[in-house]
A and B are shown apart, each in its own frame.
Chain A
Amino acid sequence: MEPSLETYLALSGILFTIGAVGVIYKRNAIGMFMCIELMLNAVNLSFVAFSRHYGDVTGQLFVFIVMSVAAAEAAVGLGIIISFFRNSLSVDVDDASLMKD
């Protein structure tokens, strides 16, 4: 007896909510980055659950593409964070206000 589709969707929604709230609460750029990864994983879980439900392989292919996007995002995003740290000696997003002042 396997858990039903909506159980997986509920877990996916809960993880996505935790990630979205974390992006707002975190002030550390790396913390926000990790919360974005959490949201991507929540969406991946719903893709795999739908793929299992309908017996179709397309959902898992989308998961593969999302993972590739996450890897590219990790490389470029962490490069931006390091560049920002070299300029302002901080990774706090409150300090990234150069264009506001």
Chain B
Amino acid sequence: MATPLFYILAGLAIACAISCVYHKNPIYSAVSLVGVFISLACIYLTLAAPFIAAVQILVYAGAIMVLVIFVIMLLNLDEERPTNRLKYLYGIGGALGLVLLAQTFFIFYVVKTAGKTSAKTTDAGQSLSIGTAMYTEYLLPVEIVGIMLLMAIIGAMMMSRHMTQRKLELVTDNEGDGES
């Protein structure tokens, strides 16, 4: 019942991921990546994890991708230039991909032969059980994540302030050059 749905969503995710890597234009890559996020959120729903699916849509497809697309628009990026990069990186990339795929399917084979336990039907994944675990057993990691987010906010603010000062210097230098 859920298997054809999974294969449709998995094919969609892999196709969008390949399209994300393949396209030269960053906007096309970003939209393909949104497709990956949404199909993964649907797979989370079939895995009985509605909280994670909602957070995936909200945080990834909502916040992070809006930020990325905003930066692409702000910098007015166009397609990548023709390559002048070290050629051997392409060979290394292909070799790395083959090795990773081989490892994946080796583990796939090991897990398959290790025997499988049937999936238990629990309420894991509901917001109640996640919230209970988050604020009792895993309170310290959650607090550390909060401190990390605070540090990220402060770091982003510091960088943007530095950036505006540098931009003002750049503008005045250009004006001085233009007048003289």
On whether the beta carbons of B33 and A45 are closer than 8 Å, the reply is no
Specify the main secondary structure of chain A where it touches its partner: helix
Interface size on B, residues (CB 8 A): 91
Q: How many Å lie between the Cα of A81 and that of B133 in the bound state?
A: 36
Most buried by B among A34, A83, A86, A91: A34
Most buried by A among B96, B156, B162: B156
Q: How many Å lie between the Cα of A34 and that of B148 in the bound state?
A: 21
| Total A-B residue contacts, Cβ distance less than 8 Å | 241
Residue of A nearest to B94 (CB): A21
Q: Mark B89-131, 1 if CB is under 8 A from A, else 0.
A: 1101110110011011101100110001101111011000110
Chain A residues with CB below 8 A from B134, complex form:
61, 64
Q: A96 an interface residue at 8 Å Cβ cutoff?
A: no
1-50 of chain A: CB within 8 A of chain B: 1-11, 13-22, 24-28, 30-31, 33-35, 37-38, 41, 44-45, 48-49
On whether the beta carbons of B29 and A9 are closer than 8 Å, the reply is no
Chain B residues with CB below 8 A from A5, complex form:
111, 116, 119
On whether the beta carbons of B48 and A38 are closer than 8 Å, the reply is no
On whether the beta carbons of B52 and A63 are closer than 8 Å, the reply is yes
Q: How many Å lie between the Cα of A79 and that of B153 in the bound state?
A: 11
Most buried by B among A21, A33, A49, A67: A21
Asked if A28 meets B96 with Cβ closer than 8 Å, knowing A15-B14, A52-B47, the reply is no
Selected contact of A57 from candidates B130, B151, B153, CB within 8 Å: B130
On whether the beta carbons of B60 and A68 are closer than 8 Å, the reply is no
Q: How many Å lie between the Cα of A89 and that of B71 in the bound state?
A: 14
Selected contact of A1 from candidates B3, B14, B63, CB within 8 Å: B3
Chain A residues with CB below 8 A from B167, complex form:
86
Chain B residues with CB below 8 A from A45, complex form:
40, 43-44
On whether the beta carbons of B1 and A1 are closer than 8 Å, the reply is yes
Chain A residues with CB below 8 A from B85, complex form:
27, 94
On whether the beta carbons of A80 and B159 are closer than 8 Å, the reply is yes
Chain B residues with CB below 8 A from A9, complex form:
104, 107-108, 111
Q: How many Å lie between the Cα of A4 and that of B101 in the bound state?
A: 19
On whether the beta carbons of B10 and A11 are closer than 8 Å, the reply is yes
On whether the beta carbons of B108 and A30 are closer than 8 Å, the reply is no
Chain B residues with CB below 8 A from A67, complex form:
55-56, 59-60
